[in-house]
Amino acid sequence: MSEINLPAAAEPVDPVGLKAVGIAAAIAVLLAAPFLASEYWINAIIVPFLILSLAGLGLNLLTGYAGQLSLGAGAFMMVGAYATFSLQLRVPDLPLPLALVVAGLIAGAVGLLFGIPSTRIKGFYLIVSTLAAQFFFEWLFLKFPWFYNGNSSATIALSRGLSFFGLEANTPHGRYYLTLGIVALLTLLSFNLIRGQTGRNWMAIRDMDTAAAVIGVPVFRAKLQAFAVSSFILGIAGALWAFAYLGSASVQSFGLTRSYQILFIIIIGGLGTIRGAYFGAAFVSLLPLALDWLFQHVFGGHVDAGLLQNIQKAIFGLLIIWFLIKEPEGLARLLGLQRAQGARRRLFPS
């Protein structure tokens, strides 16, 4: 029997070393991306993809991890965008990165406020509370010209453009690196939260909230933390969406459609996974391109843009239904990167 204990002929490749190489390669690709892709790809696909991933990540902390269903993602993005605009306009000494952090904190506080009903109601009824945020802020930011500085088109834009501690970030490359840096940092921080006590509290509430309270999880505090952190991230994502992607934005940029889009991203990508937000956002960003390509090459001709949009919506609808029924863990699981069977997400906590 002793020969069984002999080491295998070949030393296995050090998995840590392999992982480090993989991460280094990924970072290299991310940093080099602007030089590999065309300006169109950076402006129209990659930057919005990164921002939607960030928004998806923010909502996923609340909905996927803490189990609190929200249709207010657009509202909290809106708050972040309008707060950044106001800060840049009225506190010109505040550098943009700090303005983004403060705007995130404002969005977080707003999220916390609209999260208070979650301590009493859940699931379907909670949607109503978050939907209220959506409608309230659309009204608020249109009703009072102070929020958009009274300009005739009711839009917001940064008059001084984007800068990052003195570095101009108004080129496609600048916007890409600014967005990438913020998204990477917030992803890392979210990941840390999820691995720690905060994440455990959130998942405990999601999986079984009565038991969570009984074993000593501070349910009230943890739910409000989830709303605040989620809205903080959504707020920063909103500011990036307005100023790093669109350039100028209005309340329509963050309407209910946006809220649905972010929710679809995490349903398709995978509820309760960090990478799910990225998969979902990639899917949402690439599907229109893929369909366009398909129609051009398979059906041999250009298709009317309106028709294409409708087809897209139909495909989304079908996919959402399919994912909700068959695969609540979304692409993250389908791509074989997910946890074992039996750990199923439920969108509506029972």
Partner 1 sequence: MTTSAGPALEVRNVSLSFKGVKAISDLSFQVERREICALIGPNGAGKSSLLNILNGVYIPDSGEIVFEGEHFRRMQPLEAARRGIGRGFQNNALFSGMSVLDNVIAGLSRKSRVTLVEEAFRLPRALSQEKAFRARALDVLKLFDLEKHAETVVGTLPYGVQKKVEIARAIVARPRLLLLDEPLAGMNAAEKQEIAAVIARLNRELDLTVVLIEHDIGIVLKLAHHVVVLDYGRKLADGPPETIRDNPDVIAAYLGAQHAEAVA
Positions touching partner 1 (CB under 8 A) are 189-190, 192-193, 196-198, 200-201, 203-204, 206-208, 210-219, 225, 229, 272, 339-345
Q: Which is nearer to partner 1, 138 or 327 (CB)?
A: 327
Q: Which is nearer to partner 1, 46 or 203 (CB)?
A: 203
Note whether 193 and 229 are within 8 A (CB): yes
Q: Which is nearer to partner 1, 57 or 169 (CB)?
A: 57
Q: Minimum distance between the CB of residue 279 and partner 1, rounded to whole angstroms? A: 18
**Could you tell me the two tokens for 3?**
């020969």
Q: Which is nearer to partner 1, 134 or 198 (CB)?
A: 198
Q: Which is nearer to partner 1, 9 or 215 (CB)?
A: 215
Q: Minimum distance between the CB of residue 232 and partner 1, rounded to whole angstroms? A: 10
Whole-angstrom Cα distance, residue 263 to residue 269?
10
Q: Minimum distance between the CB of residue 322 and partner 1, rounded to whole angstroms? A: 21
Q: How many beta carbons lie within 10 A of that of residue 285, not counting itself?
A: 20
Note whether 55 and 77 are within 8 A (CB): yes
Q: Minimum distance between the CB of residue 227 and partner 1, rounded to whole angstroms? A: 12
Nearest to 166 by CA among 99, 97, 101: 97
Q: Minimum distance between the CB of residue 203 and partner 1, rounded to whole angstroms? A: 5
Q: Which is nearer to partner 1, 212 or 234 (CB)?
A: 212
Q: Minimum distance between the CB of residue 213 and partner 1, rounded to whole angstroms? A: 4
Q: Which is nearer to partner 1, 174 or 272 (CB)?
A: 272
Q: Minimum distance between the CB of residue 206 and partner 1, rounded to whole angstroms? A: 7
Residue 3 φ/ψ region, left for φ over 0, alpha for ψ in the -120 to 50 degree band, beta for the rest: alpha
Q: Minimum distance between the CB of residue 199 and partner 1, rounded to whole angstroms? A: 8
Spatial neighbors of 274 by CB under 8 A, at least 6 apart, are 57, 60, 187, 190, 191, 194
Whole-angstrom Cα distance, residue 294 to residue 281?
20
- Structural element, H or E, at residue 199: helix 197-207
Angle in degrees, CA 127, 48, 324, rounded to 5: 40
Whole-angstrom Cα distance, residue 270 to residue 252?
27
Phi then psi dihedrals of residue 133, to 5 deg: -60, -45
Q: How many beta carbons lie within 10 A of that of residue 322, not counting itself?
A: 11
Q: Which is nearer to partner 1, 90 or 339 (CB)?
A: 339
Distance of CA 278 to the CA centre of its chain: 8
Q: Give how far Cα 190 sits from Cα of 15, 275, 290, 335, Å.
A: 25, 11, 31, 22
